[in-house]
Amino acid sequence: MSELKNDRFLRALMREPVDRTPLWMMRQAGRYLPEYRATREEAGSFLDLCKNTELACEVTMQPLRRYAMDAAILFSDILTIPDALGLGLYFETGEGPRFRKTVRSAEDLAGLNSFKASDDLGYVMDAVSAIRKELNGSVPLIGFSGSPWTLATYMVEGGSSKDFSRVKTMAYDQPELMHELLTVLADAVADYLTAQVEAGAQALQIFDTWGGSLSAGAYKEFSLKYMQRIVSRLPREADGRPVPVIVFTKGGGQWLSTIADCGAQAVGIDWTTDIATAKKLVGDRVAIQGNMDPMMLFASPDRIREEVAGILAGFGHGSGHVFNLGHGITPGVNPDHVTAFVDAVIELSPQYHRD
> Is 355 labeled as ligand-binding?
no
pTM value? 0.97
Structure confidence by residue, pLDDT tens digits, 234-262: 999 999 999 999 999 999 999 999 999 99
Lowest mean pLDDT segment, chosen from 46-60, 88-102, 145-159: 88-102
pLDDT of amino acid 92 = 77
Mean pLDDT of 66-71: 98
pLDDT of amino acid 171 = 98
Count CB neighbours of 342 within 10 A: 22
> Is 77 labeled as ligand-binding?
yes
The answer to whether the peptide bond before residue 6 is cis (omega within 30 degrees of 0) is no
Q: Residue 300's pLDDT band (boundaries 50, 70, 90)?
A: very high
Whole-number Å distance between alpha carbons of 284 and 265: 10
> Is 196 labeled as ligand-binding?
no
Distance of CA 84 to the CA centre of its chain: 19
Residues 6+ apart with CB under 8 A from 325: 25, 26, 271, 290, 291, 292, 293, 294, 297
Structure confidence by residue, pLDDT tens digits, 119-134: 999 999 999 999 999 9
> Is 28 labeled as ligand-binding?
yes
pLDDT of amino acid 152 = 98
Pairing of strands 72-73, 266-268: unpaired
Q: Residue 93's pLDDT band (boundaries 50, 70, 90)?
A: confident
> Is 236 labeled as ligand-binding?
no
**32-290 to CATH, choices 3.30.565.10, 3.30.70.1290, 3.40.718.10, 3.20.20.210:** 3.20.20.210
Structure confidence by residue, pLDDT tens digits, 203-213: 999 999 999 99
pLDDT of amino acid 2 = 61
Q: What percent of the chain has pLDDT over 70?
A: 99
Considering the chain, what is the average pLDDT of its residues? 97
Q: Residue 30's pLDDT band (boundaries 50, 70, 90)?
A: very high
> Is 29 labeled as ligand-binding?
yes
The residues annotated as belonging to the active site are 27, 31, 40, 77, 154
Whole-number Å distance between alpha carbons of 9 and 287: 11
> Is 293 labeled as ligand-binding?
no
pLDDT at 95 over 80: no
Instruction: Give the DSSP H or E segment for 237.
Output: strand 237-238
Q: Residue 3's pLDDT band (boundaries 50, 70, 90)?
A: confident
* Domain ranges, ordered by start, for the chain: 32-290
Residues 6+ apart with CB under 8 A from 320: 12, 15, 284, 286, 287, 288
Nearest to 151, CA basis, from 82, 228, 226: 82
